[in-house]
Structure 1
Amino acid sequence: MIKKAKSSKDNVLKFPSKLSDLDKEIEAIIFVAAEPLDVDTIESKVSKKGNVPESLEKLKQEYSNRGINLICIKDKWSFRTSPNLSSLMSQEKTVEKKLSRAAVETLAIIVYHQPVTRAEIEEIRGVAFGTNTLEILMELNWVKPGGRKDVPGRPIQYITTDDFLSHFNIQKLSDLPTIDELGAAGLIDSSSVDNAIFGTGKFYKEKQEEKKDDIYSNIDEMLNSTLEPEEKD
């Protein structure tokens, strides 16, 4: 008597989902691009009509378990080597360009204080700018002008770029380490450093709003104190 083979759910073969023509075009466009692309740029290059954001999410899922991943940083898409293979990639020969200490300090100040002017950077560092220190960071496209400060002379303010986030694989500035995290890692002595030094532009804006709230909440008290001498007369 011949026994029938039992079927099992585990024996079901799973084939990769089929890519549409639009998916393939998007895949090719991002692959050959020299820099990360946003959705609008991708839409302007494809010949097929369709839902580009939906295709991007589909491709992201397709590449999630491969050696090359499709990732999105600051709304821009690019292919990157899987983080799991970083040790393998480190075997490749690389050419490193070391930044001067002045450039590293300047970059750190801009990162944590932005938007910040040249004079403010010099004040924080305690020394005047060296030759091309700020220009080097701008050539790397890690720093760029971010408008002018509304003070006499209207000096230029500097901020970090999307390339800075992309280079250091940071999604957003709030992902940067805090003073407590840097202290825990032994990189700084957090007991002798003012927390305000590590505030971002958002941090300072919030602090300024708090100060304004304190002023307005105490305005009655201030007025009363100025009227007291007249009342005594």
Structure 2
Amino acid sequence: MGPRARPTEAIDTELADLPPELRWREWMGRVEAVIFASPAPVSREALARVVGRDCSIDLLIDDISDELRGRPYELVAVAGGWQHRTKKVFAEAIRTATGLGDQLRPLSQQQSLVLMCIAYYQPITRGELSQFFGKEVSRDLIADLRRLGFIASGPRAPQPGAPYTYVTTKGFLSHFGFDTLRDLPDMELLEDAGLLNKDKLLAGELPDPVPADDEEQDQDEQAADWTETG
């Protein structure tokens, strides 16, 4: 048998023996340390475990963010929590110095449009996606988006054969910097651009087919924001 894990000691969250200003600074330090140490967004519930019962997490985050102004990193609200990230303006400097990010190949336009369609119309089946784009959306493309952690299987659709539907994940929200799906770009703008309209999809009025890879460079840049690696 290996050594027993040491029991986690409860920390003093109320800090009643400290003056209010020092208590607030300690809470700020704890919250920033937890977010900094976590590889994934940290939820409000997790942060509440290290501060007092009456402490406002939102006000703490605001004060931490104020102190980070002018620094190359910041706290961002993504996927229902908070994460410590370097600011986008320094992305090229980081890649140049370290090569970090070079291994993440940008999404193709076809992948971007399929992912965008899933994000807005989830849960949606591969058959509906294929109908929408006027050509088959391959299993390989779906597998690639799953491998990247952007989509997952949703409930089975009430259709013959009960095919699986697809939905976006917290990884999708985190990667593209969304806190919730409500932060997606305005649907009306996309519909005005002729990119998305589920009513037309179900009525059989299809947009232009998704282009082949060798034709993508000649298309609009409407989905450009979806190809960023974050």
The interval holding the TM-score normalised by the smaller chain is 0.5 to 0.7
SS in structure 1 of the partner of residue 35 of structure 2 = helix
SS in structure 2 of the partner of residue 70 of structure 1 = strand
Aligned position for 2:174: 166
Percent of residue pairs bearing the same amino acid type: 23
Q: Deviations over 1:110-167 (max 9, x none)?
A: 2343321111112223333435321221121111223233334433221222322321
Cα contact 2:118–2:168 (8 A) shared by 1:
yes
Write the letter of the residue equivalent to 1:173.
Answer: L
Structure 1 residue 80: Cα displacement: 1.4
Aligned position for 1:61: 66
Aligned position for 2:122: 114
Which structure has the highest helix share of the two? Answer: 1
Aligned position for 2:148: 140
Write the letter of the residue equivalent to 2:48.
Answer: E
Equivalent in 62, 84, 88 of residue 93 of structure 2:
88
Q: What is the TM-score normalised by the length of structure 2?
A: 0.60
Task: State the structure with bigger RCO (CA 8 A, min sep 6), 1 or 2.
Answer: 2
Q: Show the 5 A alignment for 1:64-213.
A: 64-92=69-97, 93=99, 94-97=102-105, 99=107, 103-171=111-179, 172-175=183-186, 178-179=189-190, 190=193, 195=194, 197-199=195-197
Which residues of structure 1 form unaligned runs of 5+?
A: 1-16, 182-189, 208-233
* Superposition RMSD in Å: 3.3
Mapped partners of 2:103, 2:187: distance in 1: 26
Mapped partners of 1:63, 1:134: distance in 2: 39
Mapped partners of 1:177, 1:170: distance in 2: 18
Mapped partners of 2:166, 2:138: distance in 1: 17
Q: What is the TM-score normalised by the length of structure 1?
A: 0.60
Structure 1 residue 106: Cα displacement: 2.9
Mapped partners of 2:75, 2:138: distance in 1: 40
- Cα 1:91–1:55 change in 2 (3 A) is same
Cα contact 1:21–1:48 (8 A) shared by 2:
no
Mapped partners of 1:177, 1:84: distance in 2: 29
Aligned position for 1:37: 42
Mapped partners of 1:199, 1:61: distance in 2: 41
Structure 1 residue 74: Cα displacement: 4.0
Structure 1 residue 89: Cα displacement: 3.1
- Equivalent pairs, count: 173
